[in-house]
Structure 1
Amino acid sequence: MADTITFRPDEDASRALEVLTRDGTPVSAAVRSALIEAARQRAVASVRAEAQALAADEQDRAEAMQVLRDMETLRAW
């Protein structure tokens, strides 16, 4: 069984909730969907930041290029 969450929306949250429920979507469904989407966006941002950090790591890039060169020599023609 799911937990019940109570919150007091401020003006901005109330306006956002009104937009999300304007089409008849129940408040609980709108909040649930918004939470899931926010978590997904945070995960994407985290992975993007990690990829950017790796791309900026010159030593890691050099090692990756060396691995690619080594693997090329193993390729069967």
Structure 2
Amino acid sequence: MPEKIVRARLDDESRLALRMLVRTGMTESEAVRTALVEAAAARGTDAALRAECERMMANPDQVAHTMQVRREMDEARAPWPD
């Protein structure tokens, strides 16, 4: 598989993050590749969760059921100590 070389100017936050990842034993290249894959996975998870919430909110029966469960849980919870 052909490799693609990417250049980036790191700001302070990125530089610190890279240093932290390298301290775990990764090379800089491994750290950057890992960070890119993890960031993409996190965004995919966020998008999937957002889509699921939008789907559920579009269903009035689901919203009513969720609100009923929330009311029941509120009633069942222990009082918060003062």
Give the TM-score taking structure 1 as reference length: 0.73
Structure 1 residue 21 displacement after superposition: 0.3
Question: Which AA in structure 2 matches 1:33?
Answer: T
Aligned position for 2:57: 56
Once superposed, what is the RMSD of the aligned Cα atoms?
1.5
* SS of aligned partner of 1:50: helix
Unaligned runs of 5+ in 2: 63-82
Count of residue correspondences? 61
Aligned position for 1:74: none
Give the TM-score taking structure 2 as reference length: 0.69
Question: Which AA in structure 1 matches 2:12?
Answer: E
Unaligned runs of 5+ in 1: 62-77
Structure 1 residue 6 displacement after superposition: 0.7
Question: Which AA in structure 2 matches 1:6?
Answer: R
Structure 1 residue 24 displacement after superposition: 2.5
Structure 1 residue 26 displacement after superposition: 0.2
Structure 1 residue 50 displacement after superposition: 0.4
Cα distance in 2 for residues equivalent to 1:39 and 1:24: 22
1:8-43: CA deviations, max 9, x gaps? 111111000000001321000000000000000000
Larger radius of gyration: 1
Which runs of 4 or more aligned residues in structure 1 lie more than 6 Å from their structure 2 counterparts after TM superposition? none
1:37-69: CA deviations, max 9, x gaps? 0000000000100000010012685xxxxxxxx
